[in-house]
Amino acid sequence: MRPFIMTTFTMRGARLAVIAAVLAPTPAYAQLDPLLFLKTQQPNVILAVETANRMQRDPDNTYYDPGTYQKTGAGYEAILGLLASEADTSYRRKFYHLLHENVNELANQKFKATRIEAVGDKETTYQTFYERTRLAIARRALIQAISENTSTARFALIKTRQSFPAMPSAAGNEGPVKVSDLTQQTPTDQSTGKWKVTRTTVTGSNSTHTASGLLVAADAASANSTITTWLSRDVNTAGALLPAGSDADGVVDAPVGYLLDDALAHATTLVARDGATGCRNTIVVLITGGSEGTINAQNLVTKAAAFKDVSGRRVPIYVIGLFPSAGEAAVLQQVATQSG
């Protein structure tokens, strides 16, 4: 079975992608290792999950603000579409087509968006507010994959290298966002046509961070259940995977190359511990919202080729692309192909 990429993604699709990689029964000739069906040891499945800023967006580039805004009765809440009957104490915000602006050219304007939509805590969609984001889709699918295969595979979890990602202490820590919708010009929580937005924080660029993103090793005690616990947390839960980075106009802080480096390092460790018997197969499942970022950019295809020979073993990369652009999808396809 050869590595592949999915450019259209659903929760069910992600589960099948992971299972198809190494877990599901297949004819011997189609497996990664022709003797896999004879082996009794659980294979290692390294889940390399991107946690850059773009993972907080949905396929339509809508940004799901991770902040929880307090309902105050201010006039601007109504023009966000929030009815008094839709919220008791809090609400959330969606920013449609949120883009960075060049702050050197546009004073006091950091982002632009077409419009904002509020979702109150009494609405049925409040509890599922983040479910359309790339990261939430990946989390739910991977939880299902692990649950259905917890006795047949050993999973590892690696996230994007990040420089101390955190949620801000209060919503609306960033901005302003210039909104083009004429019905959302005034009143606002800033100046005319401009609004606050919440973004997770980092202390430095992900793309220059040197610490590994390995969270759970495949051979750790209770690894599968520990990973499930990590993945079950949404962005408002302590200890969650947080989409965060130092993105700006023309800057994408998504070091996918370093994510591959960390996966390769863990694969090398696992292969070494397997010893000369070679009883375990190891694969990597890369879940990403696109290709390499723009800061200290790495050659993903060159890095992928290193997985063809990991201490004499082949470690294929299966790539799940979460709505990448056509150009990014082409690069990710090469990553899957070059890994063998």
Domains held by the chain: number: 2
> Any idea which of 36-50, 81-95, 137-151, 228-242 has the lowest mean pLDDT?
36-50
Domain extent at residue 101:
67-128+170-198
Of the candidates 3, 48, 22, 24, which has an alpha carbon nearest to the alpha carbon of residue 280?
22
**Is the domain of 243 the same as that of 294?**
yes
**Is the domain of 275 the same as that of 136?**
yes
Q: Tens digits of per-residue pLDDT, 194-252?
A: 999 999 999 999 999 999 999 999 999 999 999 999 999 999 999 999 999 999 999 99
pTM of the model: 0.88
Question: Do 273 and 231 meet the contact criterion of CB atoms below 8 Å apart?
Answer: no
**Is the domain of 237 the same as that of 319?**
yes
Of the candidates 15, 17, 7, which has an alpha carbon nearest to the alpha carbon of residue 59?
7
**Is the domain of 229 the same as that of 277?**
yes
Q: Tens digits of per-residue pLDDT, 55-79?
A: 999 999 999 999 999 999 999 999 9
**Is the domain of 191 the same as that of 71?**
yes
**Is the domain of 148 the same as that of 44?**
yes
Kindly report the CATH number assigned to the domain that includes residue 146: 3.40.50.410
For 193-245, give the DSSP string: TEEEE---B-SS-GGG--S--EEE-TTSTTHHHHHHHHHT--TTSTT------
Say if strands 115-120 and 317-321 run parallel, antiparallel, or are unpaired: unpaired
